[in-house]
Amino acid sequence: MAAAVGPGPEELILLEKLLGLKKGNKYGALEERKIPVLQTNNGPSLTGLTTIATHLVKQAKKEQLLGSTAEEKAIVQQWLEYRVTQIAGHSNKEDIRIILKDLNLYLEDKVYLARNNFTLADILMYYGLHHIIAELTVQEKEKYLNVSRWFNHIQHYPGIRQHLSNIVFMKNRLYTNPH
């Protein structure tokens, strides 16, 4: 079985590593839904996946991951919100179908979620979709071609994948036709 991202803080620990942050942040989880909580040394704790992720990005001084213009920032926020509201722990098949269909259409003319720049939205969306994409059949991966292209691109981004399984999109023929 493909290794999956667990609920709650696990995703944030992956992000910390990716950002090159030193360990030392302490996480908790709220309720059954495992809403992550970050205990900060100075000041109050922070709650919520995207809130903490944004905080970590700033901590690592990689603000470009949050978007550089007002427009880009809003787009990043929009997809982060989509990530926590639509791609929840256990969506049913129909929900997943719609998510993939919509993303596929959205990504048709884009390299990244925020168009031409790699952002936090891509990172969290990648972690959130990993278990879903891992379950897709070859045909489905073809059907959601733009999602596949985007996903494959993101998973090869240095440092992002970590222990998660590499998902195979290529379909090489074993033997091509005789010359």
Partner 1 sequence: MRLFLSEGSAQGLKVLAAAEASGARVRLERVPPDGHVVPFLTHPRVPALHLDSGTVLFSPNAICQYFFLLAGKEPNDLTNQWLEWETTELQPAVSTALYCHLVQGKKGEEVLGAIRKTLTYIDQSLTSKATPYLAGEAESVADIVLWAALFPVLRDESCLPDELHALRSWFQTMNLSEPCRSAAVSVLTPKGVQAFKLYLQKQPGPTLHWEKPAANEPEEEELAERSLSEEEIAAAAEAWARGPAALPERWQPPSPVLPVEGRRNVLITSALPYVNNVPHLGNIIGCVLSADVFARYCRLQNWNTLYVCGTDEYGTATETKALEEGLTPQQICDKYNAIHIQIYRWFDISFDYFGRTTTAHQTAIAQDIFQRLLERNMLLTDTVDQLRCERCQRFLADRFVEGICPFCNYEEARGDQCDKCGKLISAVELKKPQCKVCKDSPVVKSSQHLFLDLPQLEERLEKWLEQSWATGNWTTNSRFITRSWIRDGLKPRCITRDLKWGTPVPLDGFRDKVFYVWFDAPIGYLSITANYTDQWERWWKNPQQVQLYNFMAKDNVPFHSVIFPCTLLGAEDNYTLVNHLVATEYLNYEDGKFSKSRGVGVFGDMAQDTGIPADIWRFYLLFLRPEGQDSAFSWTDLMLKNNSELLNNLGNFVNRAGMFVCKFFGGRVPPMELGADDKRLLAHVTLELRQYNQLLEKVRIRDALRCILSISRYGNQYIQVNEPWKRIKGHDADRTRAGTVTGVAVNIAALISVMLQPYMPGISATIQRQLCVPQACNVLTDTFLCLLPPGHQIGTVTPLFQKLENEHIEALRKRFGGGQAQAACVASANVTPSGPGGGAVLAGDPQKVKELAEEVAEQADHVRQLKASKAEKGQIDGEVAKLLELKKQLAVAEGKTPEPPALKGKRK
* Binding residues for partner 1 (CB under 8 A): 32-33, 35, 46-51, 54-55, 70-71, 73-75, 77-78, 81-82, 84-85, 88-92, 95, 98, 101-102, 105-106, 108, 115, 137-139, 168, 170-172, 174-176
Question: Closest distance between partner 1 and the C-beta of residue 78, in Å?
Answer: 4
Contact 67, 117 (CB under 8 A): yes
Closest CA to 110 of 118, 100, 99: 118
In the bound state with partner 1, the residue whose beta carbon lies nearer, of 74 and 145, is: 74
Which residue's structure tokens are 């990244």?
A: 112
Residue nearer to partner 1 on the CB measure, 22 or 177: 177
Q: Which is nearer to partner 1, 37 or 159 (CB)?
A: 37
Q: Which residues contact 51 (CB under 8 A, 6 or more apart)?
A: none
Q: How many CB atoms lie within 10 A of CB 64?
A: 13
CB of 159 to partner 1, least distance (A): 23
DSSP-derived 3-state class of residue 112 = strand
